[in-house]
Amino acid sequence: MTTSTLALNYSRVQKRVQTKVNSVELPSINWKAVCFAGFFMSLALLIFYVWQINDLTRGSYLINTYEKQANKLSEENKNLEVSFAENSFLGQSLPKIQELNFQKTSSVKYIQIPDTSVAIAKTK
């Protein structure tokens, strides 16, 4: 085929495609409105992101503060338990035990009692 024949065939095919494309009607899109909506959607998502990060940071700070308060209260509770033990009966008895010179036992020895030396009770 010659170049002129190819050019004419190409021209016919192009016209057929053009008529088919023109026959299909696409809805007209208002690109200004699409860009406007996209911009405001992006802005809304950015604001939501900043709000979420702020809320997350506030929650983390509150948890840290509450943990510090819990540790402080736990330490105060231990101190109060020690104070209570010192002021209770056992705490007051320790100085009295030291005054009486009691000593800690190192070994325990049991006394053996023979069976014959136990008294027998009378029944009525």
Residue 71: per-residue pLDDT = 96
DSSP assignments along the chain, one per residue? --HHHHHHHHHHHHHHHHHHHHHSPPPP--HHHHHHHHHHHHHHHHHHHHHHHHHHHHHHHHHHHHHHHHHHHHHHHHHHHHHHHHHSHHHHHHHHHHHTT----S---PPP--GGGSPPPPP-
Per residue in 44-78, pLDDT tens? 999 999 999 999 999 999 999 999 999 999 999 99
> Could you tell me the pTM of the whole model?
0.44
Average pLDDT, the chain: 83
The token pair at 59 is 């929650």
Confidence of residue 15 (pLDDT cuts 50, 70, 90): confident
User: Distance between the two ends of the chain, CA-based, in angstroms?
Assistant: 145
Q: Taking the CB of residue 70, how many other CB atoms lie within 10 A of it?
A: 10
Predicted confidence (pLDDT) per residue in 73-105, tens digit: 999 999 998 888 777 777 677 778 888 888 778
If 0-12 CB within 10 Å is exposed, 13-18 middle and 19+ buried, where does residue 55 land? exposed
Higher pLDDT, 20 or 31: 31
